[in-house]
Each structure stands twice: as C-alpha cells, then as structure tokens.
Amino acid sequence: MNTTQSILQIAKSTITLESEAITNLVNLLTEDFAKTTEIIYKSKGRVIITGIGKSAIIANKIVATLNSTGTPAVFMHAADAIHGDLGLILEDDVVICISKSGNTPEIKVLVPLIKNAKNTMIAITGNTDSFLGQQADYVLNTFVEQEACPNNLAPTTSTTAQLVMGDALAVCLLKLRGFSSNDFAKYHPGGALGKRLYLRVNDLSSINLKPEVSLSAGLKEVIVEISEKMLGVTAVTENNKIVGIITDGDLRRMLSKSDDISALTAKDIMSSNPRRINEDAMAVDAKAIMEAHGISQLLVEKDGNYAGVVHLHDLIKEGII
C-alpha cells in the first residue's frame, strides 16, 4: 500500500470509528438527559460548564452553542475553579462537569464544593461508575469503546462524543424555548448568517448614491449619471415613478447598433418595466431575484416611488453571497 492509500485508510478508519461511537450515544440516553434539559429550561440561573484538559475545550464550545441559541452559559476551568473562580457560580446556576474518566484530581476536589453549594450538578462522562458519575445529580453517559488514537490515549472519540451530547442538549433547549430565526439574528447580528435574517434592502441601498434621469435626458447626461453614481446603472423616472432602467450593457448595445447617437434620449435607450424591489424587503430576497434573472442591480422602491439601487456587490460585501 502506498503512502496516499495508507493515509486515506487511516482517515477513513478514524471517521468510521468516531461515527459508530456517536451512533451508540443513542443507546446511552436515559431519563437523566430529559430531566437535565427540563431543569436547565426552568432554571432562573445560568449553565456553568467546567472541565479540564481537552474536556475544557469541549466545554467552551458547548458554552458558545448554548449562548448563541438562547441559554445563558459560562465556562469555568476546573483548575481555576478551586483557586477562586468558584465565585462564578450563583445560587440558581446549574453546573455541568465534563470528564471522560470522572476521576481526575481537579474534579475530585471540585465536585464536593459544588455539592456543598446546593447547585444541581450534571455529569457528562464516559464512566458512570466514577467519582463524578456517582456524585452528580444527573449523568449524561458519553462512553466510547476506544479512542481513534492508535494508542487509545489521545482524547479523540471521547471528546467528539462529549461535543455531540452538548449539541443534543442545546438543540433540545432551543426547541423548548421556541427559538426562531429572528432570535438567531438577534444573537448573531455581526455574522453572515445573522445578516441573512435581519438585513433589509434599505440598509444597503440607502448607503449608495441614487442615479436617476428623466425620459428626455440626452445620451451625455445618461453617461455622466451612470459614471458619477458608480453603480453601472441609472433609473429612468417620471414623477418619481420608475419607468425604465439603463445599464452599462444597454449603452454598449445602443452604440453598436446606432450610427447617429446625437439625438438619442433615455427613452430610446432604456429597458422598460425593470425588475424592482421594495426597500423593506430582506436583502436575501434581492439576492434571489438577481440570481434568478442574471442581473447585478435592482431598483428600489418606497411606497411606489423610486428610492435607489441595490447592487450585487453590496450583497457580497455584507456576506449575503
């Protein structure tokens, strides 16, 4: 077997092993999972998630997922917790401890302190018979047969199982809360995903210049307007209503067909009944129209009047495309 084949075989074995371990989590779910979900859902406090080593990294990711889907969560490193960070835990908080073995020294010191404070404690562990498993109020079992590491040492399969269990918990809470796309946008206002859910056409078109000529405008006026407004297009209007559009392409086609251009007006050059969109429409709707018709600009209306232009580049700049 050559090197390429060997590498691919190892990768396939790793993926297969981890996928089988994840599938087996279904068989490990108990009422403790449902009770954990309900307790967190009804809690007036936050979810404090702690761990050590690789489990601490997984804890951080689960915290991020919970926060972004409507469940307030805070990460607390298990080693720092016993040196002052226990003050993070408030009376109504629910604590989740993540540990593959459930028997690490830090966990053994931390667990009694949490129990003394009377906070509900959840264990995510691969060893339900461990110190953590026995002391926790509820246990989410993430047992795996073996790590993907050939020495069965480096946390690989086990951390994947922890992560998936955290995702399952977050999704259940999301469903219970009726977390909607609008809620998602509220928590992700700066990301491309959030922008797809809240960004409107007016947010983009209002920043652009507003190219506009009348039906009787001459060719020079049309060219100057398109050039100065830098959108590759101008609207043709009458009484502030859109009657046509002239693009760079329209100008090129006109010049190739006409020998005498001196008397041409916007009315002679324009395309009638152009595609348009209301300024209150979502930016993703503008994207859909542009893609469906193979165009780069859309004229924007407000209350039936011409209001500006939204350009394909605006959507790209904001991450909508």
- Asked if 226 and 252 count as a contact pair (C-beta separation under 8 A), the reply is no
Q: For residue 105, is it within any domain?
A: yes
Q: Which of 179, 206, 223 is the C-terminal boundary of a domain?
A: 179
Residues 166 and 43 grouped into a single domain: yes
Residues 97 and 146 grouped into a single domain: yes
Q: For residue 117, is it within any domain?
A: yes
Give the pLDDT mean for 185-208: 73
Residues 97 and 22 grouped into a single domain: yes
Parent domain of 230: 198-317
Lowest mean pLDDT among 67-76, 120-129, 260-269, 277-286: 260-269
Residues 202 and 175 grouped into a single domain: no
Number of domains in the chain: 2
- Asked if 290 and 296 count as a contact pair (C-beta separation under 8 A), the reply is yes
Q: Which of 118, 146, 179 is the C-terminal boundary of a domain?
A: 179
Q: For residue 128, is it within any domain?
A: yes
pLDDT at 182: 67
Please report, for residues 106, 114, 116, the alpha-carbon distance to residue 91 in angstroms, rounded to integers and kept in the order given.
22, 11, 11
- Confidence band (pLDDT; 50, 70, 90) for 180? confident
Tallying the residues shown for the chain, one arrives at: 321
Q: Which of 179, 212, 247 is the C-terminal boundary of a domain?
A: 179
Residues 58 and 158 grouped into a single domain: yes
pLDDT at 152: 81
Residues 245 and 148 grouped into a single domain: no
- Confidence band (pLDDT; 50, 70, 90) for 236? very high
Lowest mean pLDDT among 22-36, 107-121, 176-190: 176-190
What torsion do the CA atoms of 55, 56, 57, 59 make, to the nearest 10 degrees?
90
Q: What is the mean pLDDT of the chain?
A: 90
Kindly report the pTM of this predicted structure: 0.66
